């Protein structure tokens, strides 16, 4: 490639020579375009390179140069060439539009929007510029603006099925189901082989309760594209709703074959098996769903019912209790399910036989929004989310330095913090890196740490306690010992925009678990005894142990059921981790993060 400022003609070149050179450059550009039309991007690139040598000030040459590089997936290089074309011809609308499209491919959506707007300014009848502008805004979750852009594109080009399909997606995201379905209908009218339009319309019709029409669309989608797992999954849902349980199981089988990590397919297949009274098989599917997605709260609810009917009363009670704990932040239908579950849980704990009517799980299969807490967060009014950066699932770990006030009085504040720095902070800093700590803050007399999963939180807790024990064992003066208490819980947290601090029930519960004392327990586990350590201990919720799954190197036992401060009426099952007998993992995710195999 020549430098872009290079001059390829001599000082003495005349006007006719220049015209001849420009003509030759135009011939090379035309030849390159012909190669591009035949999808011969490499050959096209060679033609445009020669054209650039002949006429480096030709904007069209640089535009086509960029087009060839875009075809070769060299997006950054293509953007540079489109930029050169715009410098040479600021009115080159297509260069703006194509550069914007490249930026969308690189997830630079705001920059792309600016380019598409420039293209529309220069050429207001460019339908594809409106279409691409809408696509960029759709990816930015600006659905209202995207729908308006697609509407503008359709005013110019109403016979384009892709624009109708995109318009349907934007209206679907806005909850305008009838309008979205109408747009998908236009898409399939113009392109009867558009399996995705049939699929989307089918899913919409299912959500509108038009089950037979939904099945017809999903049948067509599968006939056109038999390897699309989500079509089988949604047809399984529709078949289940109309009572075709055996047929729905076949669809879920196919969805799982094509997409083996689809937790929802396992969960919904379990519901169909449950409806057919095949409780053991249903339990197996709920187990598999939870292994793939340990935050699938309603799976504990459904598994509890199946276990009760299969004669596994104790396990059923534990599952129902975990559901109650995990669904604390739920809204709408999930909250109603939680309240119902709390009533049944209380009845189960009072009943010796367990012969009571269990909750109906059918409502849980109707809408995916009610299945996962994070889905419920998505439908919250955005105005209520001011100051909120995001909601996410995390493990929360609180560390408390026992009797820190006494230590400060004994050593003085400066010497106390120097001691903490050398004894606690140094190993803790190393462990935070090793086990992928996501966020930390000081609590004055301790720390709060967060992690993406329970395995890393548990690994750090055990490692820190072992390091501290090694230090304390080396001291001759036992009064200089530093003792810790650690509490761990997990669940949905809200991340604050201003300082990334975490708020929510998971953080509150972890703090309460760290400070638990004997009088907090309303029931002790059989064999646990009523006395337990009040320092140098690790307590966690049963939910954490469930998330850890098969972790043979972590030794633990149930302590009992506790009512936490500020959580009146909800009992939490608490486990103690015997860190002295445990072996932490060597790095992030060493422990299994699946649920217990039962």
SS3 209: coil
The answer to which of 84-88, 333-337, 472-476, 559-563 has the lowest mean pLDDT is 333-337
Does residue 352 register a pLDDT over 60? Answer: no
Domain ranges of the chain: 261-379, 381-581
Tell me whether strands 521-524 and 537-541 are parallel, antiparallel or unpaired.
unpaired
Nearest Cα residue to 133 out of 173, 76, 82, 121: 121
The tens digit of pLDDT for each residue in 470-503 reads: 888 887 777 678 889 999 998 878 787 667 888 8
Alpha carbon distance 112, 136 (integer Å) = 7
Instruction: Give the per-residue pLDDT at 504.
Output: 79
Q: Give the 3-state secondary structure percentages of the chain, helix then strand then coil, rounded to 5.
A: 60, 10, 30
Nearest Cα residue to 537 out of 477, 461, 467, 428: 461
**Which residues lie across from 401 on neighbouring strands?**
484
Instruction: Choose the CATH number for 261-379 among 1.25.40.10, 1.10.760.10, 1.10.3720.10, 2.40.160.20.
Output: 1.25.40.10
The tens digit of pLDDT for each residue in 536-559 reads: 999 998 888 877 876 788 999 889
Helices (H), 379-516: 404-411, 413-420, 426-434, 454-473, 505-514
Averaged over 508-528, what is the pLDDT? 85
Alpha carbon distance 83, 131 (integer Å) = 21
Q: How far is CA 468 from CA 295, 418, 447, 457, 474, in A?
A: 32, 16, 15, 17, 10
The tens digit of pLDDT for each residue in 245-258 reads: 999 999 999 999 99
Torsion of CA 48, 52, 55, 58, to 10 degrees: 70
Place of tokens 């972890």: 510
- The per-residue pLDDT of the chain, averaged, comes to 81
Tell me how crowded residue 484 is: count the other CB atoms within 10 A of its CB: 21
Structure tokens at 301: 């609810």
CB 324 within 8 Å of CB 342: yes
Nearest Cα residue to 447 out of 408, 421, 478: 421
pTM of the model: 0.61
Averaged over 278-290, what is the pLDDT? 93
Higher-scoring residue by pLDDT: 383, 291:
291
According to CATH, the superfamily of the domain at 381-581 is Nucleotide cyclase, GGDEF domain (3.30.70.1230)
The tens digit of pLDDT for each residue in 93-122 reads: 999 999 999 999 888 999 999 999 999 999
Helices (H), 141-278: 143-156, 161-173, 177-190, 195-207, 211-224, 229-241, 245-258, 263-275
Residues contacting 129, CB < 8 A, separation 6+: 93, 97, 100, 116, 119, 120, 123
Structure tokens at 571: 């009992």
Instruction: Give the per-residue pLDDT at 143.
Output: 92
State the DSSP code for 385: G
SS3 494: strand
């Amino acid at each position: 490639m020549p430098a872009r400022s290079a001059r390829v003609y001599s000082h003495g070149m005349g006007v006719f020579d220049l015209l001849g050179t420009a003509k030759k450059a135009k011939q090379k550009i035309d030849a390159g375009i012909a190669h591009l039309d035949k999808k011969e991007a490499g050959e096209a690139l060679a033609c445009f390179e020669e054209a650039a040598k002949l006429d480096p000030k030709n904007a069209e040459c640089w535009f086509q140069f960029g087009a060839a590089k875009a075809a070769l997936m060299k997006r950054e290089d293509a953007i540079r060439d489109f930029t050169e074309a715009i410098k040479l011809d600021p009115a080159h609308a297509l260069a703006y539009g194509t550069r914007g499209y490249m930026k969308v491919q690189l997830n630079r959506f705001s920059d792309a929007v600016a380019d598409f707007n420039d293209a529309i300014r220069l050429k207001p009848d460019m339908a594809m510029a409106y279409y691409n502008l809408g696509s960029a805004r759709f990816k930015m979750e600006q659905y209202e603006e995207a729908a308006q852009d697609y509407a503008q594109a359709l005013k110019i080009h109403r016979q384009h099925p892709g624009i109708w399909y995109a318009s349907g997606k934007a209206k679907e995201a806005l909850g305008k189901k009838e309008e979205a379905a109408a747009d998908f209908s236009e898409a399939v009218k113009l392109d009867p082989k558009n399996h995705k339009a049939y699929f989307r319309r089918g899913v919409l019709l299912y959500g509108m309760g038009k089950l037979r029409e939904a099945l017809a669309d999903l049948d067509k989608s599968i006939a056109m594209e038999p390897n699309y797992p989500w079509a089988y999954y949604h047809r399984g849902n529709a078949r289940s709703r109309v009572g075709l349980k055996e047929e729905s199981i076949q669809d879920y089988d196919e969805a799982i074959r094509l997409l083996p990590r689809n937790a929802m397919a396992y969960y919904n297949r379990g519901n169909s098996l449950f409806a057919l009274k095949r409780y053991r098989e249903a339990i197996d599917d709920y187990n598999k769903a939870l292994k793939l997605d340990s935050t699938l709260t309603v799976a504990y609810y459904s598994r509890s019912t199946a276990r009760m009917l299969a004669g596994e009363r104790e396990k059923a009670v534990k599952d129902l209790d975990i559901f109650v704990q995990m669904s604390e932040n739920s809204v709408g239908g999930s909250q109603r399910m939680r309240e119902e579950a709390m009533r049944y849980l209380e009845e189960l704990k009072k009943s010796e036989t367990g012969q009571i009517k269990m909750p109906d799980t059918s409502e849980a299969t109707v809408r995916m929004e009610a299945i996962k807490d994070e889905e419920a967060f998505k439908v919250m009014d955005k105005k209520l989310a001011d100051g909120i950066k995001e909601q996410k699932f995390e493990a929360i770990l609180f560390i408390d330095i026992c009797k820190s006030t006494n230590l400060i009085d004994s050593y003085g504040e400066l010497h106390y913090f120097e001691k903490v720095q050398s004894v606690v902070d140094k190993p803790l800093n190393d462990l935070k890196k090793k086990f992928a700590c996501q966020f930390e803050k000081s609590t004055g007399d301790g720390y709060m740490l967060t992690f993406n999963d329970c395995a890393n939180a548990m690994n750090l807790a055990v490692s820190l306690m072992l390091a501290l024990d090694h230090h304390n064992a080396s001291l001759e003066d036992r009064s200089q010992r530093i003792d810790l208490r650690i509490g761990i819980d997990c669940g949905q947290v809200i991340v604050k925009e201003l300082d990334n601090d975490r708020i929510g029930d998971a953080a509150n519960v972890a703090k309460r678990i760290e400070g638990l004392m004997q009088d907090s327990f309303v029931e002790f586990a059989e064999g646990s005894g009523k006395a337990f350590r009040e320092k140098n201990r690790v307590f966690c919720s049963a939910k954490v142990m469930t998330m850890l799954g098969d972790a043979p190197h972590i030794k633990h036992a149930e302590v009992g059921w506790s009512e936490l401060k500020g959580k009146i009426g909800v009992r939490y099952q608490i486990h103690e981790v015997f860190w002295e007998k445990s072996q932490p993992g060597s790095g992030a995710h060493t422990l299994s993060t699946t649920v217990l195999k039962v």
